[in-house]
């Protein structure tokens, strides 16, 4: 069974989007846990700034994009 070029493109979009969202949410969760632990153990106020949030989103876009493209390439090569 052959997959059309349109389906390959949709698979590519799905993989890249899913990896970007998952990676961004993962980094935001890790940052939240780290800030929470630091605020508990050092008696410091909980500081979750917009700059840290935007850095997590940017890193998620970069890392998720690379991961999504890599998975698509592996999937495409194994199919052929």
Is the pTM value of this prediction over 0.95?
A: no
Task: Delimit the domains of the chain by residue range.
Answer: 5-79
Percentage of the chain with pLDDT > 70?
96
Q: Is 43 exposed, middle or buried (0-12, 13-18, 19+ CB in 10 A)?
A: exposed
Does residue 1 carry a pLDDT above 60?
Answer: no
Q: What is the pLDDT of residues 20-55, one digit of tens each?
A: 999 999 999 998 888 888 888 888 777 777 788 888
Return d(Cα 60, Cα 2) in angstroms, integer.
Answer: 33
């Amino acid at each position: 069974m052959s997959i059309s070029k349109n389906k390959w493109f949709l698979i590519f979009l799905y993989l890249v989007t899913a990896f970007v969202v998952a990676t961004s949410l993962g980094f935001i969760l890790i940052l939240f846990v780290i800030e929470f632990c630091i605020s508990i153990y050092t008696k410091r106020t909980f500081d979750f700034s917009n700059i840290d949030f935007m850095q997590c989103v940017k890193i998620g876009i970069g890392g998720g994009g690379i991961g999504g493209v890599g998975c698509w390439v592996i999937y495409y090569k194994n199919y052929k």
